[in-house]
Amino acid sequence: MAFINALPGAVAEGLIWGLMGIGVYLSFIILDIADLTVDGSICTGGCVCAVLLANGFPVWLSVVAAFAAGALAGFVTGLLHTAFGIPSILAGILTQLMLYSVNLTILGGKSLVAIDPRANKLLVHMSDNPRSIITMGIFVAATIIGLWLFFYTEFGLTIKSTGDNPDMSRAQGVNVKLTQVLGLSISNGIVALAGAMLAQYKGSANINDGRGAIVIGLAAIFIGLSVSLKIKPNFVVSMIGVTCGAIVYYIVYNVVILLGLKTDFLKMFSAIIVAIFIAVPYIKKEYFARQRKMPSNGAKTRINGGNNA
């Protein structure tokens, strides 16, 4: 029963993290950059949103501002990487560290700013899970459709090619530095948007929000792709997969809490989930591949393409 009661909340929160996972997918999968900025930018999104709401700004403006702040953070990471030659992992870590100070400043030196759901018209809040689920569903769907269209544009295609093969992209005249900076900006913008939604949902922005967020985003990605890639390896299905991955993650997370796992161990739990999902395909390939039956000659020609070139 307790599980049934926890389910709507898990779905709502899962959808918010699904949005975050989509942002991480852009950097991690499409741009092929392990961008650790997100741990900071998700918090920035929450802080910007909470402070603007506390100062009486409308919720839409607060959310848009959160996106912009996140995009700016991604821009900084991109610049550190492309203009100053800092390895992308380190660039993300540096920005993340900078963001801690930025976030504290936004929160006015406090460690927490509350959002009053009675004083503000919020888009999502945990007191109204059905509405939160619908709102988040619309947000996620709009983001997926927007990105899907974007990656069919001339410019979107070059962002894809940049992550897929930077050598080829440069040879074809793509300004790889520009596409990386812009890709990271969009990615962190979406992550910060998720942060803004999360702050509304929980009713507060905390300076410690977002620690380990990348791991949850990756969990959503790996859980989702482990299924969606088997169905159909295209962008929309992958994005739906990531969203569902986040929901599954939050359902499992709630189950684990109900089973009595001490909250001190929740981050351990997140990390182990990600480790398992990355390790399993590797272990299958490394240790069990040889137990499959020998390929026949027919199979071999198929692998080679069947064509004479």
Q: What does the binding site for other proteins look like in residue numbers (CB under 8 A)?
A: 152-158, 160-161, 164-165, 167-176, 304-305, 307-309
CB 45 within 8 A of CB 199: yes
- Shortest approach of other proteins to residue 162 CB, angstroms? 9
- Shortest approach of other proteins to residue 154 CB, angstroms? 4
- Shortest approach of other proteins to residue 268 CB, angstroms? 34
Residues 6+ apart with CB under 8 A from 111: 104, 206, 207, 208
Residue with smaller CB distance to other proteins, 109 or 306 = 306
Residue with smaller CB distance to other proteins, 259 or 309 = 309
CA distance 4 to 1: 5
Cα distance from N-terminal residue to C-terminal residue, the chain = 61
CB 40 within 8 A of CB 103: yes
Find tokens 């996620």 and name the residue.
140
- Shortest approach of other proteins to residue 63 CB, angstroms? 23
Residue with smaller CB distance to other proteins, 163 or 210 = 163
- Shortest approach of other proteins to residue 238 CB, angstroms? 12
CB atoms within 10 A of CB 153: 10
Residue with smaller CB distance to other proteins, 127 or 172 = 172
- Shortest approach of other proteins to residue 184 CB, angstroms? 17
Residues 6+ apart with CB under 8 A from 181: 74, 75, 78, 79, 82
Residues 6+ apart with CB under 8 A from 42: 20, 70, 191, 192, 194, 195, 198, 209, 210, 213
